[in-house]
Amino acid sequence: MKKIYFILLLILCFTNGYAQREAGIWYFGANAGINFNSGAPVALTNGNLNTQEGCATYSDKDGNLLFYTDGSTVYNAQHSEMQNGSGLLGQNSSTQSAIVIPKPGSSSIYYIFTVDAPNKQNADDDFTNDIGDGKNDGLNYTEVDMRLNGGLGGVTNKNNPLTTYNPSNSDETKFKCSEKITAVQHADGISFWVITHFIDNFYAFKITRSGVQTNPVISKTLITVPLTGYLANAQGYLKSSPNGKKLAVAHGATKTSDLLIVKTGEIVLRRNTGKVFLYDFNNSTGLISNETGILSGENPYGVEFSSKSKKLYVNSNEFNSEYNITGSTLYQFDLESSNITASKTKIRSFDFNAGALQLAIDEKIYIAGYVPMENGRSRLTVINNPEANASSCIFGEFSLNSRKSLLGLPPFIQSLFLFNFKYEFTCVGDATHFFINTVETIDSVLWDFGDGTTSTDIDAYHIYGAPGTYNVSLTKTTNGETKDPIVKEVVINEKPVILSTAYQLIQCDSYDSNPNDELSTFNLENSIAALTLNKADDFNVYFYLNDTDAKNDLYNENSLTLIYKNTVPNQILTAKILYKDSDCFSLGKVELIANSSLLLNASDFIGCDIGDGTASFDFSTKENEIKSSLNLPSTVVIYFYDSEENAINDVSPLGNDYISSEKPIYFRAENNGLCYGAGTFNLIVNYFPPVESDENVPVCENSFPIEINAGIPLYIQQNYSYNWSNGENTYQISVANEQQISVTIKDKIFLCEKVKTFNINKVYTPKIIDININLNNNTVAIITENNFDNLYVIDNPYNNYQSENTFYNVTPGLHTVYAKNKYDCGITAKNIFVLGFPKFFTPNNDGINDLWEIKGLNFEEFRYSNILIFNRFGKHLATINPDSGWDGIYNGEFLPSDDYWFSIDVTDDRNLTKTYKAHFSLLRL
């Protein structure tokens, strides 16, 4: 058979006949790396990553490194931190901390999707993702633009959160996502799916020419991975098969708690609850179905498909009876078997902890592992023939040249490892171009275009007769082997129906040195609605100097900015109008017309200070003023803007009610939709002296009348008028009683005004109505009839007063307490008596404490009743004079050791009587 040698140079290249070179370079582990582009892998030692698990790398179509990351920091091709490349919300101890997706239809924009490690210690129900706050951040994506920094790239849009949880569920919000992520191409051959799993749902996000679609396709799973077992339950890999039809997920654990006691006195991690599941994936809809459990009772970590999606490999940690890891096991599953679960075959055991399994562009699977005593492993194990049956698998070792692998390897879009085809020119009537993304030697091909026609041309063109969705298949024969067909959905569109004539975008020739040269700055966005016949949401629109530039810009990356200044009067631009997610376009025209503009003069606009250096401005008043002062026609409408740029481009006109500090304002006038003139003026804030809006004025009861004033400084008092609520109109007035009164202060020139309210409160001298004395701890509490921020002191009215009304550890005897308020409206004094009595006595005739008696009675100031003695049951035992004592005898008998109570009435000089009761102890020694 005649061989056909075909090299595709137009858009994409693949390497070695197996896969695209975008996956040709890896960086991972402890500064380890591999270059697969030469055919045989070569160890790299120039990487800057030092990551326990997650990492991602991406190269261009020719295999040249673009950047790599651990999910937190992005490094460029020179192994330096990328511009703005730090602070991503992945985590290098997350199983799959990052994956890179190119933006469809762009040769320079890439998305880095990151997943955090959802640790229970970091759990909170905060929706915000703040760099460095230590909280679980879930799934996010970051945009990289490779046109920046001289082609080394820069991060432009960082840490955009994607919701993979129920926001109304506080527990889900605390963790947000698992550590799993994978990606595969959409059935249309252009878009991609990014997929993750959390608890009992898969979330599939579609990435199109328009960017990341933030509303995912959600698929329910039968398995529920409980949050109570996080962090361990979040670990393990998720992979799509290269053909986009299957998903495999390893749940490192599905336990309901983090720890399990397995022997007395020791707590260790439980490792026998992990499971692996296989699913069907619909790469057209993003739906996931047909859950099949293929492994359980293990501690799985890595999963990977062979390049032809016929075999699945899983590695899992081995452990002893005490759950200590002793090594790992590699299993193979035959996906063509009628019973996939039963096809499980243990093909090898290893002496290292289970790590990632990753398919490379040489169609071999590389196995990472971790040897704890060596802090890693200096080589990768390789499955050289992953399509073979278990018994025929051949293993090898690849040295990392003094670098070490740990647990992770970089994941890629899985469909990179499948030979594929691309297409372009998707309008009805166009010759749609189909081409194969491979450089291998091809025997023959068969295209089926989905409309009943076929072709055997490797580089094929086909004209569709009608719009619609066509299932296009490619069957390829290489080295005598016919490959399985690849099928894609190809959407053929009508050419966009657009405005058939040139749209005239009319602008004022204003805000420049020559208002009559017909040159101005235009906002091209203002033409899009007319160009698309008011269907702007259906299209992407790009502007060019001419048709040739528009047609040659395949990725629409060299279009004009939307804010554009014409270079000649009445310049005509080309508008390239494409259906979204399509390369089908029509070309329209925009004529840029800059009409001569009148320079309109306007006086400054003065507003009344409302605080914080701002004022409120009513632009409807200003519009009427401008039209009146300049004698403008009544049909003129004036628009106001906060910047010259916005005024020129007619962007974000201000509303009538506007609060602002002092600044310039720009305005443009239109008459019947046409340019009339433009101008500018300043906003001026008429600052008011600082005046409290409310003031409380306490006045002692005997101090009325008082004088109050508006509070304006003396040197400017004459600039304001004063209107009091009682009808007076002087700066200062007299107030004779308690009341609320207000004054309106008005600027005589600008008529700005403020209202100040006085709350006049009568304050009384405190009146002591009671004294609470606790005899057990000698505390004295002063009770007053009113409290206007009262202050208190005991014995000396010249000592420092206190705000607390209670005094502690007051000595027995006569005291005077004083009360006043902080306004010094007068002092109230009261004499008190604090009883002193022994807390115990010992009637044993030794001359010490033989009698119980009250000390320090003052018979001049107070009258005392007899003292009554009771036992603890309330039985009356004795009545004694206040100046005598009790010997502990009742009816001639010595009473036993016990608690006893007494009661005494004390009458003061106002004939007020208080009863005091307390207890004491009798001790027989």
> Is residue 305 over pLDDT 90?
yes
Instruction: Output the pLDDT for position 569.
Output: 93
Tell me how far apart the alpha carbons of residues 660 and 656 are, in angstroms, rounded to a whole number.
12
Q: What percent of the chain has pLDDT over 70?
A: 93
- CA torsion sign for 286, 291, 292, 295 is positive
Q: How many CB atoms lie within 10 A of CB 859?
A: 9
Instruction: Output the pLDDT for position 270.
Output: 59
User: Are residues 799 and 714 part of one domain?
Assistant: no
pLDDT in tens, 633-688: 999 999 999 998 888 888 899 999 999 999 999 999 988 877 788 899 999 999 88
> Is residue 294 over pLDDT 60?
yes
- Cβ neighbours of residue 740 closer than 8 Å, sequence gap 6 or more: 757, 758, 759, 760
Instruction: Output the pLDDT for position 744.
Output: 95
- CA torsion sign for 708, 713, 716, 720 is negative
Say which CATH number the domain at 735 has: 2.60.40.10
Q: If DSSP codes are grouped into helix, strand and coil, which group holds residue 261?
A: strand
The answer to the question of residue 550 being in a domain is yes
> Is residue 508 over pLDDT 60?
yes
DSSP labels for 566-619? -SSTTEEEEEEEEETTS--EEEEEEEEEEEE-EEEE---EEEEEEETTEEEEEH
User: Are residues 353 and 233 part of one domain?
Assistant: yes
Q: Which of 851, 849, 883, 852 is nearest to 866 (CA)?
A: 883
Instruction: Output the pLDDT for position 707.
Output: 95
> Is residue 127 over pLDDT 70?
no
The answer to the question of residue 6 being in a domain is no
Phi–psi pair at 240, nearest 5 degrees: -95, 150
Q: How many CB atoms lie within 10 A of CB 734?
A: 11
> Is residue 13 over pLDDT 50?
no
User: Are residues 474 and 350 part of one domain?
Assistant: no
Rg (CA), the chain: 44
> Is residue 8 over pLDDT 70?
no
Q: For residue 436, what are the domain limits?
A: 419-492
Residue type, position 770, single letter: D
What integer is the mean pLDDT of 295-310? 93
pLDDT in tens, 701-732: 889 999 999 999 999 999 999 999 999 999 99
Q: Both ends of the chain: CA-CA distance in Å?
A: 125
Q: What mean pLDDT is reported for the chain? A: 89
Tell me how far apart the alpha carbons of residues 34 and 362 are, in angstroms, rounded to a whole number.
12
Cβ–Cβ < 8 Å for 734, 707: yes
Q: Which residue has the tokens 């999606």?
A: 309
The answer to the question of residue 7 being in a domain is no
User: Are residues 457 and 511 part of one domain?
Assistant: no
pLDDT in tens, 572-610: 999 999 988 788 899 999 999 988 778 899 999 999 998
Q: If DSSP codes are grouped into helix, strand and coil, which group holds residue 625?
A: helix
The residue count of the chain comes to 925
pLDDT in tens, 167-204: 998 888 888 888 899 999 888 878 999 999 999 999 99
What's the structural domain count of the chain? 7
Tell me how far apart the alpha carbons of residues 82 and 63 are, in angstroms, rounded to a whole number.
19
> Is residue 393 over pLDDT 50?
yes
Cβ–Cβ < 8 Å for 726, 742: no
Instruction: Output the pLDDT for position 457.
Output: 95
Say which CATH number the domain at 326 has: 2.120.10.30
Instruction: Output the pLDDT for position 438.
Output: 55
Classify residue 649 by its DSSP letter. H
Cβ–Cβ < 8 Å for 889, 909: no
Tell me how far apart the alpha carbons of residues 263 and 633 are, in angstroms, rounded to a whole number.
94
Instruction: Output the pLDDT for position 659.
Output: 94
User: Are residues 829 and 747 part of one domain?
Assistant: no
Distances (CA, A) of 110 to 75, 99, 408: 14, 10, 22
Long-range contacts of 476-480 (CB under 8 A, 24+ apart): 476/419, 476/436, 476/442, 476/444, 476/445, 477/442, 477/443, 477/444, 477/445, 478/17, 478/440, 478/441, 478/442, 478/443, 479/441, 479/443, 480/1, 480/443
Q: Which of 802, 720, 820, 712 is nearest to 765 (CA)?
A: 820
The answer to the question of residue 167 being in a domain is yes
As to burial, measured by CB atoms within 10 angstroms (0-12 exposed, 13-18 middle, 19+ buried), residue 780 is buried
**Dihedral Cα 619, 622, 623, 628, nearest 10 deg:** 170
Band of residue 122 on the pLDDT scale cut at 50, 70, 90: low
Q: Which of 241, 249, 194, 246 is nearest to 417 (CA)?
A: 241
pLDDT in tens, 769-800: 988 988 778 899 999 987 778 999 999 999 99
Band of residue 858 on the pLDDT scale cut at 50, 70, 90: confident
pLDDT in tens, 406-454: 999 999 998 876 667 878 888 999 999 998 865 456 789 999 999 999 9
As to burial, measured by CB atoms within 10 angstroms (0-12 exposed, 13-18 middle, 19+ buried), residue 120 is middle
Say which CATH number the domain at 830 has: 2.60.40
Instruction: Output the pLDDT for position 611.
Output: 80
DSSP labels for 419-443? --EEEE--BTTSEEEEEE---SEES
The answer to the question of residue 736 being in a domain is yes
Of 398, 416, 434, the residue that ends a domain is 416
pLDDT in tens, 632-647: 999 999 999 999 888 8
Cβ–Cβ < 8 Å for 623, 657: no
Cβ–Cβ < 8 Å for 307, 316: no
Instruction: Output the pLDDT for position 137.
Output: 87
Band of residue 126 on the pLDDT scale cut at 50, 70, 90: low
What integer is the mean pLDDT of 898-913? 89
Q: Which residues of 89-101 are buried (b: 16+ CB within 10 A; e: fewer)?
A: bbbbbbbbbbbbb
Phi–psi pair at 170, nearest 5 degrees: -60, -40
Q: Which of 576, 594, 593 is nearest to 585 (CA)?
A: 576
Tokens read off for 196: 């993750």
Long-range contacts of 724-732 (CB under 8 A, 24+ apart): 732/707, 732/708
What integer is the mean pLDDT of 482-492? 85
Of 563, 596, 629, the residue that ends a domain is 596
Tell me how far apart the alpha carbons of residues 219 and 197 are, in angstroms, rounded to a whole number.
9
Tell me how far apart the alpha carbons of residues 44 and 35 are, in angstroms, rounded to a whole number.
7
Band of residue 120 on the pLDDT scale cut at 50, 70, 90: low
Higher pLDDT, 487 or 409: 409
The answer to the question of residue 12 being in a domain is no
The gap from C-alpha 695 to its chain's centroid, in whole angstroms, comes to 43
> Is residue 6 over pLDDT 70?
no
Higher pLDDT, 846 or 681: 681
User: Are residues 136 and 82 part of one domain?
Assistant: yes
User: Are residues 138 and 30 part of one domain?
Assistant: yes
> Is residue 814 over pLDDT 90?
no
Peptide bond into 705 cis (omega under 30): yes
Classify residue 689 by its DSSP letter. P
What integer is the mean pLDDT of 52-58? 95
User: Are residues 109 and 219 part of one domain?
Assistant: yes
The answer to the question of residue 718 being in a domain is yes
> Reduced to 3 DSSP states, what percent helix, strand and coil does the chain have, rounded to the nearest 5?
10, 45, 45
Q: How many CB atoms lie within 10 A of CB 582?
A: 19
Classify residue 235 by its DSSP letter. -
Q: If DSSP codes are grouped into helix, strand and coil, which group holds residue 367?
A: strand
Of 662, 686, 710, the residue that ends a domain is 686
- Cβ neighbours of residue 462 closer than 8 Å, sequence gap 6 or more: 431, 432, 434, 447, 449, 453, 455
Distances (CA, A) of 189 to 63, 185, 192, 339, 444: 21, 6, 8, 31, 22
The gap from C-alpha 728 to its chain's centroid, in whole angstroms, comes to 57
Residue type, position 88, single letter: L
Tell me how far apart the alpha carbons of residues 99 and 242 are, in angstroms, rounded to a whole number.
16
User: Are residues 257 and 226 part of one domain?
Assistant: yes
User: Are residues 632 and 525 part of one domain?
Assistant: no
What integer is the mean pLDDT of 220-228? 90
Instruction: Output the pLDDT for position 256.
Output: 66
What integer is the mean pLDDT of 100-109? 93
User: Are residues 250 and 169 part of one domain?
Assistant: yes
Q: How many CB atoms lie within 10 A of CB 726?
A: 10
Instruction: Output the pLDDT for position 398.
Output: 97
Higher pLDDT, 440 or 557: 557
What integer is the mean pLDDT of 814-828? 91
> Is residue 533 over pLDDT 90?
yes
The answer to the question of residue 799 being in a domain is yes
User: Are residues 628 and 660 part of one domain?
Assistant: yes
Instruction: Output the pLDDT for position 418.
Output: 66
